[in-house]
Amino acid sequence: MRDLLLIIFGFVNKILLVFKLRIIKVNHRFNRHGNAVPDYVRFATLQLLAHEINENGVEGSAAELGVYRGDFAKHINAALPDRTLFLFDTFEGFDKRDLTHDIKNKFSDDSVNFIDTSVDKVMKQMPFPDKCQIIKGYFPDSLGCISQKDDITYALISIDADLYQPIYEGLCYFYPRLSEGGYIIVHDYHCTKFRGAKEAVQEFARNYSVKYVPVADAEGSIVIVKP
Ligand SMILES: C[S@@+](CC[C@H](N)C(=O)[O-])C[C@H]1O[C@@H](n2cnc3c(N)ncnc32)[C@H](O)[C@@H]1O
């Protein structure tokens, strides 16, 4: 099955090249020996969710909160090429306020910071940059940049901000704006390095009676669907 997926993906990449689109590499994670291993489940889950959204005519934009270098965002952009993709990030790494909270609560440590990126780097990765809107700054304060367009609805959102506060705030902002049949993917739910992700999802789910489904990708994402 894995070999078949590899062949299909290689074939799709070749077609994209023929049409002069940039080649899209599969997201990589690292195994305990430090070797890059592709996170096929994460990638394939996104493909299936995008397929459902298109087939069911779910309306709305796409978004990612926690973009870093755009390695997952480029797949969202490719999977939903006709939709606006809002890209929320400081593009300068974690904010001290969020990090201090997670360190204090023993959810995380300060061993990574995701500083080494830029808007330019991210935009160069996007297969359809015209559909992307960068929302740079500390989330949720950065929402001020799109408050004029507060009638935005979303069909698919990836929340991959690692820390408790942006993930909880992200769920509070996006869930009410999620279209019926739309999805929120929260990365790192089962990640032991970023325990704030699970805390944020569980608290949000308790407070707003929201259900979610686990995904068997490398960091154990969860998917919320709007009934
Ligand atoms: C793990 S990285 C994202 C990885 C990316 N989604 C991928 O799959 O390649 C986490 C990102 O969340 C961003 N982030 C965390 N807290 C944030 C906040 N409060 N506001 C804006 N961005 C934030 C960081 O700057 C960092 O780039």
- Tens-place pLDDT, residues 55-89: 999 999 999 999 999 999 999 999 999 999 999 99
pLDDT tens per residue across span 206-216: 999 999 999 99
Lowest mean pLDDT among 104-113, 129-138, 154-163, 197-206: 104-113
Cα atoms in the 13 Å half-sphere on the side-chain side of 190: 11
The structural domains of the chain, with segments of one domain joined by +, span: 2-225
CA distance 208 to 226: 12
Q: In a mutational test of the pocket of ligand 1, which residue from 67, 118, 184 has the highest number of ligand atoms less than 8 Å from its CB?
A: 67
CA distance 102 to 195: 8
**Which residues partner with 133 through β-bridges?**
86
Does any ligand 1 atom lie closer than 6 A to the CB of residue 200?
no
> Above 50 in pLDDT, residue 10?
yes
> Above 70 in pLDDT, residue 45?
yes
Q: In a mutational test of the pocket of ligand 1, which residue from 45, 46, 89, 117 has the highest number of ligand atoms less than 8 Å from its CB?
A: 89
207 or 20, which is more confident: 207
Does any ligand 1 atom lie closer than 6 A to the CB of residue 89?
yes
| Ligand 1 center–CA 49 separation, angstroms | 22
Per-residue model confidence (pLDDT) at position 8: 65
> Above 90 in pLDDT, residue 197?
yes
| Ligand 1 center–CA 3 separation, angstroms | 32
> Above 60 in pLDDT, residue 26?
no
Per-residue model confidence (pLDDT) at position 18: 41
Per-residue model confidence (pLDDT) at position 110: 86
CB-based contact 191:180 (threshold 8 Å)? no
Arithmetic mean of pLDDT, 14-32: 49
Residues with Cβ within 8 Å of 166's Cβ and at least 6 positions away in sequence, in order, are 65, 66, 98, 139, 140, 159
Q: In a mutational test of the pocket of ligand 1, which residue from 27, 114, 141 has the highest number of ligand atoms less than 8 Å from its CB?
A: 114
Mean pLDDT taken over the chain: 89
| Ligand 1 center–CA 100 separation, angstroms | 16
Does any ligand 1 atom lie closer than 6 A to the CB of residue 68?
yes
> Above 60 in pLDDT, residue 27?
no
Per-residue model confidence (pLDDT) at position 24: 46
Arithmetic mean of pLDDT, 39-50: 96
- The topology under which CATH files domain 2-225 is Rossmann fold (3.40.50)
Per-residue model confidence (pLDDT) at position 201: 98
